[in-house]
Amino acid sequence: MTVDAEATGHTYRPAPRGTVLIVDDNADLVRGLRTLLQNDGYCVVTLSNGSTVAESVAVNRPDIVVLDVMMPVVDGWEALRRIRENPANARLPIMMLTAKGTEDAKVKGFTLGADDYLSKPFGVREFRCRIEALLRRIRPEEGHEDMRLPVVADSGTRFLDAKDIVYIEGVRNYTYMHSYDTRFLGRLSLGQIEAREIPGMMRVHRSYIVRLSAVRGYHWASKSSFKLVLDDAEGTEVPVSRKLVTEVKNRIGC
């Protein structure tokens, strides 16, 4: 009998996330960032200096550029200027990397059109969070701007933007709403939340609603258990009802 390799429980597949262009002459750093981003489901293109950055942007159409400042031949400042001089790149997010974390350097970067600034050395979690934050700015999910959900707070009730919620967990007659690293007690049931038909959110299991853009990957935990890996601090795995597996994979672009 032939067994589907995906159903063996050993195959993890990242969800498609977009393309990242990394421009840095530090080969070890580039290698590490490439592995991190590819494991998160991104396509990664790299350059060792900024001499051909404008051409690479035009050909590869990245969703975000990670640009080092101190490089040979053409440095990050000039590379940034070349990218921004093309009006087609006006909304392209650009994160600058540098060992110089001075205020003057940051002001220069923002003045030339950088969107974010990360000083070396930096942590993996911070880098990943900043990439996600920049991409959310240019790819807001339709309708999420006005969708807020009530949670319990010291003052009684506060509201969370749906775009900040990674997943919602139903526990008996109440819910927990999970952001990247915080859990909130919700004031609505899973059924009430599902009835709102929030764009980009899907009930994938009787106990879970997830934000599909927060899916980092998926795998078969067993022949009958399909799970989504979410992009929160814990890398939470959420089960998917068997009958919804095909629809979920189609909606996350797999």
Q: Is 71 within a domain?
A: yes
What are residue 42's DSSP bridge partners? Answer: 18
The SS3 assignment for 9 reads coil
* Predicted pLDDT of residue 10: 47
Tokens of 66: 């990670």
Average pLDDT of the segment spanning 52-57: 94
Residue 167: Cβ-neighbour burial (10 angstroms; 0-12, 13-18, 19+): buried
* Gap between the Cα atoms of 34 and 186, Å rounded: 37
Q: Is 53 within a domain?
A: yes
Average pLDDT of the segment spanning 129-133: 87
What is the domain extent for residue 39? 15-138
Of 70, 103, 138, which residue is a domain's last?
138
CATH assignment of the domain containing 46: 3.40.50.2300
Angle, helix 27-39 to helix 124-138, in steps of 10 degrees: 60
Average pLDDT of the segment spanning 115-138: 86
Angle, helix 76-84 to helix 53-60, in steps of 10 degrees: 50
Residue 3 has pLDDT above 50, yes or no: no
Residue 8 has pLDDT above 60, yes or no: no
Q: Is 6 within a domain?
A: no
Mean confidence (pLDDT) of the chain: 86
User: Is 86 in the same domain as 194?
Assistant: no
Residue 145 has pLDDT above 50, yes or no: no
User: Is 25 in the same domain as 94?
Assistant: yes
Looking at the chain, the whole-number percentage of residues with pLDDT higher than 70 is 88
* pLDDT band at 4; cut points 50, 70, 90: very low
User: Is 230 in the same domain as 156?
Assistant: yes
* pLDDT band at 91; cut points 50, 70, 90: confident
> Structural domain tally of the chain?
2
pLDDT tens column, 172-194: 888 999 999 999 999 899 999 99
Of 98 and 33, which is predicted with more confidence? 33
Residue 191: half-sphere exposure toward Cβ, Cα within 13 Å: 2
Least confident among 15-24, 164-173, 209-218, 243-252: 15-24
User: Is 29 in the same domain as 110?
Assistant: yes
